[in-house]
Structure 1
Amino acid sequence: MTTDNTHFTVGKTTFFQGENHTHPLFRIEPGIPCQDAREQASELMGYVRDMTIAGLMDDNPQLIWASHYLSALAKALMDDAELGMTHRVSSGIDEESK
């Protein structure tokens, strides 16, 4: 018996809250394979690292702010992928059928 072990994002993680943190501006879409979300988050964090260093070395606050926003996106991807991976296990989907 083969089992599909693919986990998907659940689409519950929001980021870049509006005024007073009451209005989410963006949300991770549900249904993205968690492995893809994690790979994309890793790629974004590489850009964050490079932009932060460039912003500091060139005294460019715009690069630092851009890296701040990209890091929030990367964190949201990771958080929602984690929710997708734990949701599947906690809901009993990964349990073997009798």
Structure 2
Amino acid sequence: MSAFGNWLLSILQEVLQFIAEIPVAIADWLYQALLDLISTSFIVGIIQSAAQLFSAIDPSVWYFLNIMQVPFGISVVTSAYLLRFLVRRIPFIG
């Protein structure tokens, strides 16, 4: 192969490598943007205020909440809502 052919082949390889790396770069950018959005959003404040509210509950109330399995019920209902949300996003089901 001539020098011109080698030069053209190397340019073609560089262009194809650049095109192959674009989806990875976009996915990385979206992931970093999502992390920045979550870390600066109001969600962090809500979680911190919820922790303060739960720490203000009396131990006697916690006793009866544990007897009635309220923490388990909250986690089951939350996971059911999340599962419903995800299933409805599947195009041929929801």
More RCO (CA 8 Å, sep 6+) = 1
More helix by share: 2
Indicate the TM-score class for this superposition, using the shorter chain for normalisation: 0.3 to 0.5
Structure number with greater Rg is: 2
Larger strand fraction of residues? 1
